[in-house]
Each structure stands twice: as C-alpha cells, then as structure tokens.
C-alpha cells in the first residue's frame, strides 16, 4: 500500500506523529481553577468514596477511539492505494488512436474508440492513486501532454474524440520517451492507420472486423452537349469480408432521389454513372445503404451545382458567323446580335460578347472579348506575334475544361501585359506571353489576343466547348471548392462561414484566406467583401473506408489482467466512512458517560 507515494519510513513517521498529537492532547491538563468555598468537608467525603479505577478505563477507551479516528482520517487524507510500487509502475504514457476509423462499431455496440478509452481507464486504475499518467492522442487534439494524477488523466480521456482533421501520427514527444526508455508506453489502436510505432511500445488492439460500405468518389458535372443537364459519377467500396447489395441514392434540392442498386464483391469497388435530367442547381447528396454497416462517416457525400438560368447575351460584332453559331448551340442563351454602333443604345443584357471591339468604359455585365481594341479597363496590349504557337494553357481552369489548344493554328495574335492581381493568363505562347487572359473580379471578363478569322480555332471541336465554358464561368456562381474533412481554407479574407445546418462556424483569419473546421460532410458557404464561394467537404478517402485494413489481430480482452471492478469505492472513501462511524460511536459513548 502506498501513501501519496511516500516511502515506508515516511508513512510510519506520519502515523506516529498523528498518534503523538492525539495522546499529547489527552495528557495535556488544563490549569486548575481556584474557588473559595466555605468548607471542604463535603468534598473530602466525595473524594474518599470515588473509586479512581473506574475513571482509568474510561480514559483509555476515549484515547483508543480518538487514536482510531485520527489514524483513519490521516489515512484518508494520504489517499492510500493498492497499486504496484516502484517508479516504473507509477509513470505510464497512454497513446490513444483517435483516427477516423476508430468510429467503427464493434459487435457490442460500442465504437473502437470507446473500447480504447475503457482500456485506458483500466490501465490508469491499475496504476493507483499515486501513479502519474500521460495521455496523448494520434490526432493532436489534447495539446501539450504531461504526467498527471489519476483524476486529471481520466479527465483528459473524456476529451478524446475520433477526429478527422489532418493525418494521424505517433506523437514525437512520446517517440523520444520510448527511445530514452523513460516510462512505460502503451499504444491503444485498431491498427488501421499506418503509423511508425517505436520499438518497446506496448500495443493493445481494439480491432474487430466490421462491415462497411462507403463512398470513395462523387462528382457531378454538366453534360458536354447540354449544360442544363447533369450526370453524377459515384464510386462505392465494400471493405467487408462478404459481398454486399448496396442501395445508392443521388438526391437534389426539391427533386426525387435517383436510386440504383449495386452488387459489390468483398473488398472491391464499383463505379456508377447516373444521369440527373431534372436537377437545376443547389446541393446534391449521394448516399449508400447496406445491411450491417458499422461505419457511418463515409455513407454520404455532397456536391454543389450552380443554379442555371436562361441568359440574355448580346453579340457585338461587324459579322462573325462561326461565333454566332457557337453561341446559338448553347441552349440557355437568348442571343441578340448588335453592331458596335448599336451597342451604346441597347442595355439589359446578362452578358456581352465583343468581337474585335471593346467599349471605352467597362460594362456592368460580364464580357467575353475576342481580339479587343486597347482600352484603359483592360490589360495593356503588347507586341503583335506572327504565327505564334500555344505552348501551355490552364486545362484545370473552368474556361478551358475539356478544351484543347494543341492543334490551334494562329496567323497573328496580340499579347497581354498583366500580373496575377489584375488577371490570370489562361494560355501562353512559346515565349511565355499571355494570349488568353481572364479576370475573376466582378464583373468577370475573358479576352483572347487573336481573332476568330485569324486562326483555325472555329474549325476545332473544342471551340463550341470554349464558348459554352466561357459563358458558364462568366454567368454562373463559381464552382464549389472541394475539401477533405478537417481544417479547410477559403481564398476569401475575413469570410463568414455558414455550415450545412445553417449555423455560423468559428473561423481563423490568415492573409487573403479564412480557415475553419469542416467537421461533417456537407456544403459550406463562405461570404466576404471579395465575393461568395461554396465549399464541399467530404470523407472521400479509400484509406478511411478500409476500416478492416488492420495489421493487428482482433482482441476483445481488457488491457490489464486484473482491472479494478467498476463502481468499487476507493480505499480513502472507505476509511473516511469508517472514521465517521467511529466519531458517531464516540459521541454516543460520551453522552452515556462511558468515555471522558
């Protein structure tokens, strides 16, 4: 038994000191009081008749009860425990794996993390009240670890939750301890996360195979021939050991879900393409459902479709049949053709297409400019290039999505002198000069340095797609930014973030960006002075869905051979209760004149 970690000599000294104080108080006699009386005759007769032996046993009984009560209270204050002695048994570091796969359910209905916390509790209880425990997690949510007493260590355990922010890693501070062999280290994990565990660390497995079907990919795009219609691409993985029949549903705002059924083999992945003919925009949710699924984090994923609308577009040109035909191919465009002279007297358009023309002042609507004339509101036009080749282009930009400029031959083209703050270069020639530029600042605009008739661009299959993409980028809400679950960044300074449930998220501001915690799958809205964006957060990670990819054998036993029974009172509580009972007994004997 240990008393606050004291050695046997110090513990015995403490008890001797308590006993000495109690006996000393009983031996301490108060100073006699002098009272003047008329005669001592009566008092002499009383003293003569009183038997002193009867007083002696009452005094010893009172001293014995007081010693027992004082000793019990001293023991209780010293917090005795029956844990193992020695320095090694009193210092233990417990590393709890709280990576996403620890959310998987076990056969008893608890998650792997709940089982891991229970294992850690039993380890702390086995160390006793004098033990010092350091609790650390693999996702770094507990902050700076330290060796603490049992009560604080248990409180740290209560703070641990399965986290999705970042990647799990074995704590570096604990790694140094393992190298120095400074303390006993126990790692409680399901063995799924690939962590570099140092040698000498005790690994406790909470892994138990679980059935899981999850989404590993989800994307929604407009059909190339009709931007008003969409199709969804879905990838479904089965991480279980048996084949599963999986119900897949894709639902949009105000639309009935499109449902399909897939047969997915054990430890296999199936893909599915679903046409969404009636979806007009807004959040789109994909979900999977299968019997016995024990992991819910990857059961749903989200996308966001910008709301499409019929747009009034004015083509300002002196004549360009190829450009007119490409615009008429867009089913949502209501086209009006104007000459440069008519432009000033007509208004009310959603977008403009200027062919070899640019007005002196920037219009209030988005603009696509084909070989514009120099204007102050556009980037300065540089040297004219003869027979330039398009050397590079941003095929990841929405304007050039599915557009190839490799075979475009250009007779002559102007170049633009610009920087990234004013506009971005979508395509460059072999000399690095910008040939196609765009600005995302409202109202948006796109400009090409070459005219349609000065190239074979109109004869390319990519030309209609370029026109459709350009109008979509000019008119529609910017595409949603995909982000994994966890800490997300939005390229808007000091933005206000609203989560899927309509509640405002806590944010952290950095230069030209806003950080927030995307803790659940869904569509988040960011709004600031520089604009508005949608962020789609999903757990589309095959490594997360693979909840059974463990390197450990299943284990259902506790971490210790003799765990403290649940609900068993601590020794100091028992001692304090006994002391209270003896105090009550001493009070009763005193009032019955049995003790002094």
- Joined tokens for residue 445: 């605009």
Confidence of residue 86 (pLDDT cuts 50, 70, 90): very low
Q: According to the model, what pLDDT value does residue 227 have?
A: 64
Q: How far is Cα 301 from Cα 298, in angstroms, rounded to an integer?
A: 7
Report, as an integer, the average pLDDT of 9-19: 74
Q: According to the model, what pLDDT value does residue 305 have?
A: 83
Report, as an integer, the average pLDDT of 392-397: 89
Reduce the secondary structure of 30-47 to three states and give it as a string. Answer: CCCCCCCCCCCHHHHHHH
Report, as an integer, the average pLDDT of 289-295: 95
Write the pLDDT tens digit of every residue in 274-286.
Answer: 988 777 778 899 9
Q: According to the model, what pLDDT value does residue 566 have?
A: 47
- Joined tokens for residue 146: 């330290």
What is the percent of the chain where pLDDT is above 90? 50
Write the pLDDT tens digit of every residue in 32-63.
Answer: 777 787 777 777 776 666 555 556 777 778 88
Burial grade of 396 (CB within 10 A; 0-12, 13-18, 19 or more): exposed
Angle at 110 between CA 108 and CA 111, to 5 degrees: 130
Q: Phi/psi of residue 184, each to 5°?
A: -75, 135
Write the pLDDT tens digit of every residue in 504-554.
Answer: 999 999 998 999 999 899 999 999 887 788 999 999 999 999 999 998 988
β-strands 412-416, 381-386 pairing: antiparallel
Ordered structural domains, the chain, with CATH: 2-79+586-591 (no CATH), 87-210+547-569 (3.40.50), 214-296 (2.60.40.10), 311-475 (3.40.50.880), 481-538 (no CATH)
Beta strands in 224-308 (DSSP E): 226-238, 244-252, 258-264, 268-276, 282-289, 300-305
Query: What are the CA-CA distances from residue 439 to residues 259, 369, 442, 443 (Å)?
Result: 40, 12, 8, 8
Write the pLDDT tens digit of every residue in 70-82.
Answer: 888 877 776 665 5
Write the pLDDT tens digit of every residue in 451-507.
Answer: 999 999 999 999 999 998 999 889 877 778 999 998 899 989 999 999 998 889 999
Q: Which of 161-175, 196-210, 234-248, 320-334 has the lowest mean pLDDT?
A: 161-175
- Joined tokens for residue 111: 């998650």
pTM for this predicted structure: 0.66
Instruction: Report which DSSP code applies to 410.
Output: B
Indicate the length of the chain as a whole number: 596
Query: In sequence order, what are the residues at sequence separation of 6 or more whose Cβ sits closer than 8 angstroms to the Cβ of residue 99?
Result: 138, 139, 162, 163, 168, 192, 193
Greater pLDDT, 486 or 28: 486
């Amino acid at each position: 038994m240990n008393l606050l970690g004291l050695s046997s000599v110090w513990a015995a000294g403490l008890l001797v000191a308590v006993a000495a104080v109690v006996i000393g108080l009983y031996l301490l006699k108060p100073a006699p009081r002098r009272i003047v009386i008329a005669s001592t005759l009566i008092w002499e007769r009383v003293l003569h008749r009183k038997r002193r032996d009867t007083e002696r046993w009452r005094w010893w009984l009172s001293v014995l009860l007081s010693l027992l009560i004082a000793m019990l209270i001293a023991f209780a204050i010293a917090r005795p425990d029956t844990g193992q002695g020695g320095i090694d048994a009193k210092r233990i570091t417990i590393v709890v794996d709280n990576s996403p796969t620890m959310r998987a359910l076990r056969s008893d209905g608890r998650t792997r993390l709940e089982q891991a916390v229970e294992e850690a509790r039993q380890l702390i209880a086995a160390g006793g009240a004098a033990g010092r425990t350091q609790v650390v997690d693999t996702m770094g949510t507990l902050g700076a670890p330290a060796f603490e007493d049992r009560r604080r260590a248990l409180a740290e355990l209560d703070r641990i939750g399965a986290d999705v922010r970042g990647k799990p890693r074995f704590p570096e501070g604990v790694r140094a301890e393992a190298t120095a062999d400074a303390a006993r280290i126990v790692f409680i994990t399901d063995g799924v996360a690939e962590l570099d565990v140092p040698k000498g660390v005790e690994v406790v497995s909470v892994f138990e195979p679980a059935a899981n079907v999850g989404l590993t990919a989800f994307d929604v795009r407009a059909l190339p021939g009709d931007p008003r219609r969409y199709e969804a691409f879905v990838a479904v993985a089965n991480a279980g050991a048996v084949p599963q029949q999986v119900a897949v549903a894709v639902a949009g705002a105000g639309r009935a879900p499109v449902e399909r059924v897939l047969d997915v083999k054990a430890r296999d992945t199936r893909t599915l393409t679903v046409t969404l003919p009636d979806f007009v925009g807004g959040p789109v949710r994909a979900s999977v459902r299968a019997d016995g699924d024990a992991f819910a984090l990857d059961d749903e994923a989200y996308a966001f479709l910008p709301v499409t609308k019929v747009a009034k577009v004015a083509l300002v040109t002196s004549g360009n049949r190829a450009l007119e035909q490409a615009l008429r191919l867009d089913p949502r465009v209501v086209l009006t053709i104007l000459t440069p002279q008519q432009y000033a007297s007509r208004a009310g358009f959603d977008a403009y297409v200027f062919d070899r023309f640019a007005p002196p002042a920037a219009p209030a609507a988005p603009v696509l400019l084909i070989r514009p004339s120099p204007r102050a509101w556009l980037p300065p036009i540089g040297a004219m290039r003869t027979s330039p080749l398009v050397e590079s282009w941003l095929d990841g930009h929405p304007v050039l999505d599915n557009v190839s400029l490799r075979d475009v031959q250009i007779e002559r083209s102007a170049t633009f002198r610009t920087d990234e703050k004013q506009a971005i270069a979508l395509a460059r020639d072999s000399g690095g000069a910008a040939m196609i530029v765009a600005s995302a600042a409202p109202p948006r605009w796109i400009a090409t340095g070459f005219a349609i008739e000065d190239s074979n661009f109109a004869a390319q299959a990519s030309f209609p797609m370029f026109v459709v993409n350009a109008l979509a980028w000019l008119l529609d809400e910017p595409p949603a930014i995909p982000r994994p679950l966890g800490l997300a960044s939005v390229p808007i300074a000091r933005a206000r973030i609203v989560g899927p449930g309509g509640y405002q998220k806590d944010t952290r501001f950095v230069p030209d960006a806003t950080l927030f915690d995307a803790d659940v799958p869904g569509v988040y809205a960011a709004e600031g002075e520089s604009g508005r964006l949608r962020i789609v957060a999903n757990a589309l990670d095959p490594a997360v869905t693979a909840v059974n990819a463990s390197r450990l054998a299943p284990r259902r036993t506790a971490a210790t051979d003799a765990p403290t029974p649940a609900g068993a009172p601590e020794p100091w509580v028992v001692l304090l209760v006994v002391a209270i009972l003896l105090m009550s007994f001493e009070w009763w004997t005193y009032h019955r004149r049995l003790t002094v």
